[in-house]
Chains A and B, each alone.
Chain A
């Protein structure tokens, strides 16, 4: 405690002594900021896998070429001008095989420099692509690299990307580039071993890996990473002299660390459960600032459409009408977690409110179930003419407390409608590794998708994407939804460049989704940010780009 007071006093002194000098390259002297998160990255390599903890930490020291800003608009981060067809930087072109591709030209920020003094160049971009498309490099998501036919370098900072197809998101190039001057040698020595030998993991504190406002100066595997200002950063100087990201996986312990002053804030991206945050706010609302940002994590229940009971749309509708989702969010989450009506977030620009909705209407549910033939009550449970009970299994990840709470409430509500729901939960790795991917969940599976702005639901709704023995269980259409209209809409939306026309297609996707209801939408999971009252400038995004991408705007309030 005395140490904390001393730090605070020192910080106060500094804040008063040097009023936010925005001199380039020097930090503003706002002291140390300690952030608590719940996960440690498996690798610090930016492109090998996608892990929230990693993008959160790396965003302090690196920037993607493009990103979405907190208002969900596409922006340039490392590039200097967002290419569009309108401004001429993107041009359709004919491919050798006669189909249509697109050439998009970017320029990197002229002052971007790696922490060891080497300039950030087009060569780095090209190298990142070479690594990404190499089949043995270990880069998980290879699709975006495979679609690129060629990267043509014009000069140190300008290059043109030739893509083999025209999609609406042609200028979405959220690539996190690799430093060719450090990595090329490692990669070319043995591409198959690159994922094990990369500098990002062998020496993550190498200054040459970072060009952002901060660079990693110290790391303890599994526990924390320390960042200090990077002198080669080209943007406005960040305020904090030091940022420590601490990893505490147990959320009760995370909370205790906050209360005891060991950490200053809890990141919303990877922090407390919503009900924990609400309970914390009730007790310590005045000590911290609480922000509940609705995010892109879509909690839902997949209906297994191979199940004869659930194959009947009336039963699916009845399940929706019989579940009081509004009451759940109000009582469990104090209304901070919005009820979802489709798979598109209300924050998304293509979202539409004009979809069939299923408010809590037990009478309607009862009527639908009667119509579907489940009209004989025995011991409070509906049975059909054959005497079979209306019994469904509901599965989710064991040990996820929030989900288990919602699950038990739903079970109780459905029970009142005469539906016997049996809960069976499994540890996450069994549930996702086997039950969900192989569609073994029989009845209903409750989990979440992490989406991104305007992400076309090909993998989760297209009929080609139903996992089966034949396609080696690939694809993510877990309900087994096969609908020709949906397939057509997905194909067309991907290729439609006109934003207005695309919006109409999107509306139709959402309406079809809500009408057919292959999935029961539950909530948009809110990210609870618990911040010190003296922190300024942090603006939650709600999408996959973490708040740390704008860390140079963070500061300490005078007197804080």
Chain B
């Protein structure tokens, strides 16, 4: 009990300062107090660094992520392959690193894209209200209800090059990656939109917004300069948390055969491929499963810590989705 008392005090203190004046230093201190979140951040940095270093590892060591070796399928760990090989004799460690690149890239970029879309829609709906709000929020409802699966299947057949996207991008080996990012962002923005709209609604009646108006600020300026910074914390928290969810979603899509396509590795498709051989080569499933688990958990802890730091009294209810 006693350990958390100062945290609550400082929370009260930050409130007294007012919504636009939270000192960063205080924020950072509150965040530091969150040991789990801090550990998570460290874990994520290590994972991201390792994943980014994958090509370097491949260049500097004899390991090879793409070379198929039919003589050494599902081999146990050895000097040549520190974690053994996968079902086609490729180095498991290196594939995990490359898979991490893909899984993290999908998670982070899709979450960011969704956050941008959601913020724009939420701000507009909350700020202007009225008919625009009604329309935007019904669209949001619709998108929540939008069936992800048929969308995915339809998009698997849509020729993206006809939509003006560069052919080299969509036709290249990473086409399935872009598809997934695009799609998840397309259906994933509604949480942020709802949060931002809610925050904007309760914020726009406050004195400082009225004051800004009185001083002659235009709508865009009020939204960007006065409202956005004040609704930033739920956006940051929701986005952090959704990174983890998207990584999980990617693994589920892989399970359904709609995820990242081979030979590109992602933790999701590695896990899916391993499930059929789970008795004979269990480690093939254990590693990607563990990495997904740790990463998602770290993002969740991080989001939790950020939430406590940014807005210690807010309910935690909004974030999961």
Contact = CB atoms under 8 A, between A and B. Distances in A.
Chain A in direct contact with chain B (Cβ < 8 angstroms): yes
19 contacts: A273-B276, A279-B277, A279-B280, A279-B281, A282-B280, A283-B279, A331-B70, A331-B73, A399-B257, A405-B87, A413-B68, A422-B171, A423-B173, A423-B261, A423-B263, A425-B261, A426-B157, A427-B153, A435-B157
Contacts of B263: 408, 411, 423
Contacts of A57: none
A332 to B, nearest CB: 7
Contact of B258 (A328, A405, A427): A427
A485 interface: no
B156 A412 contact: no
Given A255-B279, A411-B263, 16 more contacts: A251-B276, A252-B278, A276-B277, A279-B277, A282-B280, A283-B280, A332-B73, A400-B257, A405-B88, A408-B88, A409-B68, A423-B261, A423-B262, A424-B171, A427-B258, A429-B153
Contacts of A206: none
A327 B66 CA distance: 18
Contacts of A409: 68, 70, 88
Interface in A169-189: none
A460 to B, nearest CB: 24
A407 B157 contact: no
B200 to A, nearest CB: 40
B168 to A, nearest CB: 11
Contacts of B25: none
Given A423-B261, A434-B157, A401 B276 contact: yes
Contacts of B198: none
B206 interface: no
A226 interface: no
A279 B279 contact: yes
B108 to A, nearest CB: 24
A427 B156 contact: yes
Contacts of B148: none
A411 B90 CA distance: 14
Contacts of A398: 156, 257-258, 261
Interface in A252-273: 252, 255, 273
A404 B157 contact: no
The secondary structure that dominates the B interface is loop
Residue among B67, B70, B278, B281 with the most chain A CB within 10 A? B70
B262 A404 contact: yes
Nearest to B255: A399
B67 A430 contact: no
Interface of B: 66-68, 70-71, 73, 87-88, 153, 156-157, 171-173, 175, 256-258, 261-263, 273, 275-281
B153 A430 contact: yes
Contacts of A408: 68, 88, 262-263
Given A332-B70, A408-B68, A412-B66, A430 B157 contact: yes
A265 B172 CA distance: 44
A331 B73 CA distance: 8
Closest 4 pairs (CB-CB, A-B): A399-B257, A331-B70, A412-B68, A279-B280
A407 B279 contact: no
A252 B271 CA distance: 13
Nearest to B159: A440
Contacts of A413: 68
A412 B261 contact: no
B286 to A, nearest CB: 15
Nearest to B273: A401
Contacts of A327: 70
A276 B277 CA distance: 7
A443 B171 CA distance: 13
Contacts of B173: 422-423
Nearest to B281: A279
Given A401-B273, A409-B88, A427 B257 contact: yes
Given A251-B276, A411-B263, A399 B156 contact: no
Interface string A280-294: 101100000000000
Contacts of B156: 398, 426-427, 430
Contact of A328 (B70, B71, B281): B70
Contact of B276 (A252, A411, A425, A430): A252
Nearest to A430: B157
A409 to B, nearest CB: 5
Contacts of A279: 277, 279-281
A533 B279 CA distance: 21
Contacts of A401: 273, 276
A331 B89 CA distance: 11
A423 B278 CA distance: 26
Contacts of B281: 279
Contacts of B275: 252
A404 B260 CA distance: 12
Contacts of A405: 87-88
Interface string A320-342: 00000001100110000000000
Contacts of B278: 252
Interface string A371-400: 000000000000000000000000000111
A177 B53 CA distance: 66
B30 to A, nearest CB: 45
A424 B257 contact: no
A488 to B, nearest CB: 38
A399 B67 CA distance: 21
A258 B156 CA distance: 35
A283 B279 CA distance: 8
Nearest to B262: A404
Nearest to A433: B157
Contacts of A424: 171, 175, 261
A26 B68 CA distance: 57
Contacts of B73: 331-332
A446 to B, nearest CB: 13
Nearest to B67: A412
A280 B281 CA distance: 11
Contact of A399 (B175, B256, B279): B256
Contacts of A255: 279
A400 B276 CA distance: 11
Nearest to A393: B171
Residue among B171, B172, B263 with the most chain A CB within 10 A? B263
B225 to A, nearest CB: 46
Contacts of A331: 70-71, 73
B179 to A, nearest CB: 11
A291 B219 CA distance: 75
Contacts of A426: 156-157
B155 to A, nearest CB: 10
Contacts of B277: 275-276, 279
A411 B173 CA distance: 12
B304 to A, nearest CB: 33
A331 B68 CA distance: 12
Residue among B67, B71, B280 with the most chain A CB within 10 A? B280
Residue among B68, B88, B171, B256 with the most chain A CB within 10 A? B68
A282 B171 CA distance: 40
Contacts of B276: 251-252, 273, 275-276, 401
Nearest to A404: B262
Nearest to A415: B66
Contacts of B273: 401, 404
Contacts of B157: 426, 430, 434-435
Nearest to A328: B70
A166 B205 CA distance: 88
Contacts of B280: 279, 282-283
